Amino acid sequence: MPKIKLPTKSPHIDMTPMVDLFSVVLTFLMLTTTMRQPEPAPVDTPTSISEKPTPDFNTMTLLLSKDDKVYLNFDNGPDTLLAFRPKILAEMGKRYNIEFTEAELAEFKKYPSSIGVPILKMKDFLDTRDNKVRTAMESGIPIDSTDNQLADWIFCTRTVNPNVQACIKGDAKTGFEVVKKVLDIMADKNVFKFNLITTLEAAKINLADIQK
């Protein structure tokens, strides 16, 4: 019996449609998504029905982590030429008699994440390039009544950028004591309007619910 010979197929598969598909997916991802900012502490925000998007600039964001640490972040303003961040740091330095060099201010300007370093360690923090050393320094901004650096930060931010809006980004499990403290500090500095950062979750109710 002669063997039936199957025609040997070429080992090459045509990848062109796959490339096409991937290009489409890639383009879609690049256009629809925004870069996620790295955060010094993982924060799981609570949900709400609010559909208002976060403002792009003129914000100061307070990050309240699960372990009750407070971090602060603010932006450079609607135009990077305004460079609010280095101005705020310089203002802060004046209050604590710390002279920041040009290089340190430039480093602070482009530092993307929230800051949680006591102001006395800020110089070392900006000088080092080692991320491990930096993480070790992040003990949160002090909010005790004896050493209330958060109040000073808020004051400086509002001096440099009067249009700033306060945003609070807290973990759902953050204890209320620290939230209350932060709210009190803000109220002392005459900030009464807050934007609480949440994730969207739909909730539907109909009239039948209230008629029963």
Q: Which residues bind another protein (CB under 8 A)?
A: 12, 14-16, 18-19, 22-23, 25-26, 29-30, 32-36, 45-55, 64, 167, 169-177, 179-180, 183, 187-188, 192-200, 203, 205, 207, 209-210
Q: Which two tokens stand for residue 142?
A: 């002090």
Output 146 or 190, the one with its CB closest to another protein. 190
Output 66 or 109, the one with its CB closest to another protein. 66
CA distance 123 to 119: 8
Distance of CA 40 to the CA centre of its chain: 9
* Close Cβ partners of 84 (under 8 Å, ≥ 6 residues apart): 74, 75, 76, 77, 157, 160, 161
Distance of CA 122 to the CA centre of its chain: 19
Output 49 or 136, the one with its CB closest to another protein. 49
Residue 73: what are its φ and ψ, rounded to 5°? -140, 145
Output 102 or 177, the one with its CB closest to another protein. 177
The distance of closest approach from Cβ of residue 159 to another protein in the complex, given in angstroms and rounded to an integer, is 20
CA distance 118 to 124: 11
CA distance 114 to 60: 10
The distance of closest approach from Cβ of residue 192 to another protein in the complex, given in angstroms and rounded to an integer, is 5
| Count of beta carbons in the 10 Å neighbourhood of residue 55 | 11
CA distance 110 to 39: 14
Q: What is the largest CA-CA distance in the chain?
A: 98
The distance of closest approach from Cβ of residue 191 to another protein in the complex, given in angstroms and rounded to an integer, is 9
The distance of closest approach from Cβ of residue 109 to another protein in the complex, given in angstroms and rounded to an integer, is 22
The distance of closest approach from Cβ of residue 108 to another protein in the complex, given in angstroms and rounded to an integer, is 23
Output 128 or 195, the one with its CB closest to another protein. 195
Output 119 or 197, the one with its CB closest to another protein. 197
Name the amino acid, one letter, at 72: L
The distance of closest approach from Cβ of residue 101 to another protein in the complex, given in angstroms and rounded to an integer, is 31
Place of tokens 């330095």: 93
